Amino acid sequence: IKYNSAVFNTSAARLSQCPEDAGAEVAFAGRSNAGKSSAINTLTNNSKLARTSKTPGRTQLINFFDLNVPGTRIVDLPGYGYAKVPVAMKEHWQKHLDAYLQKRGCLRGVVLVMDIRHPMKEFDEMMVGWCESTGMQLHVLLTKADKLKRGPAQSTLLSVRKELKARLGDNVSVQTFSALKKSGIEQLHSRLNGWLQL
């Protein structure tokens, strides 16, 4: 699979607007500002694919990108965590995300993007809990690794990995990543390649 082949397919505001539930897809999730868009843009070597630093209100859509192998896609899930957003809008996002996660048969795995300086916040706990209860495969990107020295970055990697392995066993993997330094791309490729086999 060539990740730099990714092209925009559809934005969906509800499940019925998603592409046909066939083939294989991998979804990227993360709190707002975690670095999810930057990670997708780095993976696909396309600085314009996912919108970075989105404004609240534009983030409610699920965006689908087609890869070069027919039927394979990457999916950008809505970001969460803007304090300014009204509760009603958060609840709408939540319902939308729940519907996607629960009903999407072609979903092979979730990439959960966390800022390495602030791992395992409430949204992350929710996603981990959901993977725990459904048996969904999870890959955690501890991004912005360039913001920490090597020692602290490694110690966060080991502690997050230890905690998640205890909960999810072989269904979880954790790596460091940096969009700025373009590090961790090969490791991400190999995990996605495993998931996107048709």
How far apart are alpha carbons 150 and 152 in whole angstroms? Answer: 6
Closest contact distance (angstroms) between CB of 169 and ligand GDP is: 27
Binding mask 131-170 for ligand GDP (x = CB under 6 A): ------------xx-xx-----------------------
Residues 6+ apart with CB under 8 A from 42: 177, 179, 182, 185
Q: Which is nearer to ligand GDP, 137 or 178 (CB)?
A: 178
Closest contact distance (angstroms) between CB of 157 and ligand GDP is: 15
Q: Binding residue for ligand GDP (CB under 6 A) from 12, 67, 79, 80? A: 79
Count the alpha carbons within 13 Å of 141 in the hemisphere toward its beta carbon. Answer: 34
First-residue to last-residue Cα distance in the chain: 11
Q: Checking DSSP bridges between strand 172-176 and strand 137-143, what pairing results, if any?
A: parallel
Q: Binding residue for ligand GDP (CB under 6 A) from 6, 12, 26, 34? A: 34
Q: Which is nearer to ligand GDP, 51 or 165 (CB)?
A: 51
Residue with tokens 């993976």, as numbered in its chain: 43
How far apart are alpha carbons 80 and 94 in whole angstroms? Answer: 9
**Counting contacts by CB under 6 A, is residue 33 touching ligand GDP?**
yes
Binding site for ligand GDP (CB under 6 A): 30, 32-38, 52-53, 79, 143-144, 146-147, 178-180
